[in-house]
């Protein structure tokens, strides 16, 4: 029986091999569905439904739950609510952030917002790894 999973983060990448620094073959977004081909520790070889791209994804980006972004049919009970979407995307939605700021008035969110805008390429990660003589373990 074929196993299916959904992307549970805002965006993630399909990679050539089971490594965060492996070449990127494609990108998936929250709610996109994949078929599982193989599992290897924390890495899963998948085939994306929307693009037919096959490659590796880290298991932390996937869930066995079916995520429906536009509920309204018989699957409405399975749809993620806005808080689940924010949590799955590893971020806040505006309402959750507003409530959190209200409960924590002394916290400065400027750096959180700035950090969310940072983009680090695979090439930069590889250079950092080489320069620091870092040896990846566990398929990193």
The predicted-structure confidence for 95-130, as pLDDT tens digits, reads as follows 777 888 888 888 887 887 788 788 888 788 888 988
Q: At residue 86, does pLDDT exceed 80?
A: no
- Name residues whose C-beta falls within 8 Å of residue 31's C-beta, 6 or more positions apart in sequence: 6, 7, 67, 68, 69, 80
**Res. 10 pLDDT band, cuts 50 70 90:** confident
Could you tell me where the DSSP H helices lie in 26-91? 82-88
Q: At residue 37, does pLDDT exceed 70?
A: yes
- Walk me through the domains of the chain, giving residue ranges and CATH numbers: 4-131 (2.30.30.40)
Q: Classify 130 as helix, strand or coil.
A: helix
**Res. 39 pLDDT band, cuts 50 70 90:** very high
Q: Give the Cα separation of 41 and 30 in Å (integer).
A: 23
Number of Cβ atoms within 10 Å of the Cβ of 106: 4
């Amino acid at each position: 029986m074929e196993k299916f999973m959904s992307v549970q983060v805002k965006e993630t990448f399909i990679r050539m091999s089971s490594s965060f620094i492996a070449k990127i073959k494609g990108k998936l977004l929250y709610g996109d569905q994949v078929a599982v081909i193989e599992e290897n520790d924390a890495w899963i070889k998948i085939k994306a439904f929307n693009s037919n791209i096959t490659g590796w994804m880290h298991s932390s980006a996937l869930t066995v739950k079916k995520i429906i972004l536009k509920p309204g049919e018989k699957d409405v009970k399975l749809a993620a609510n806005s808080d689940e979407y924010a949590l799955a995307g590893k971020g806040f939605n505006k309402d959750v952030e507003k409530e959190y700021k209200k409960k924590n008035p002394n916290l400065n969110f400027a750096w959180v917002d700035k950090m969310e805008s940072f983009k680090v390429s695979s090439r930069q990660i590889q250079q950092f790894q080489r320069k620091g003589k870092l040896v990846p373990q566990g398929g990193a």
